Amino acid sequence: MENTWEFDTTTGEGSEIVTIVYEYEEDADSTYNENIKEIWFEGRNVIGLFSDEQFKELDMEAAMRFQDHKANYKQTSDIHP
């Protein structure tokens, strides 16, 4: 089953606020195939505008935040690890 989870963060020298759409699949035991699907800024998907380094940093942040979300918000979440 494919799902998405969204969160806001800042990026770039101007610390602009972007919305990360994180995509993942889940089964009865865990989540898997976790990755960034979209990055929204001012109503536009700007995922292709980031350098490899910037994208890797956002991807690491997203992975850490998602793990925290799964561990701490199970009761009110759509995630059922």
Backbone angles phi, psi at 66, to 5 degrees: -65, -40
pLDDT tens digits, one per residue of 10-59:
998 889 999 999 999 988 888 899 999 999 999 999 999 999 999 999 99
| Chain centroid offset of residue 14 CA | 20
Given this model, what pLDDT does residue 77 score?
47
Distance CA 55, CA 76 (A): 29
What is residue 1's predicted lDDT score, i.e. its pLDDT? Answer: 61
Q: What is the pTM of this model?
A: 0.82
Q: How confident is the model at residue 78 (pLDDT cuts 50, 70, 90)?
A: low
For the chain, report the end-to-end CA distance as a whole number of angstroms.
12
DSSP 78: S
Q: Three-state DSSP class for 49?
A: helix
Determine the average pLDDT of the residues in 63-67.
94
The domain locations on the chain are: 2-72
Q: What average pLDDT does the segment 58-80 reach?
A: 79
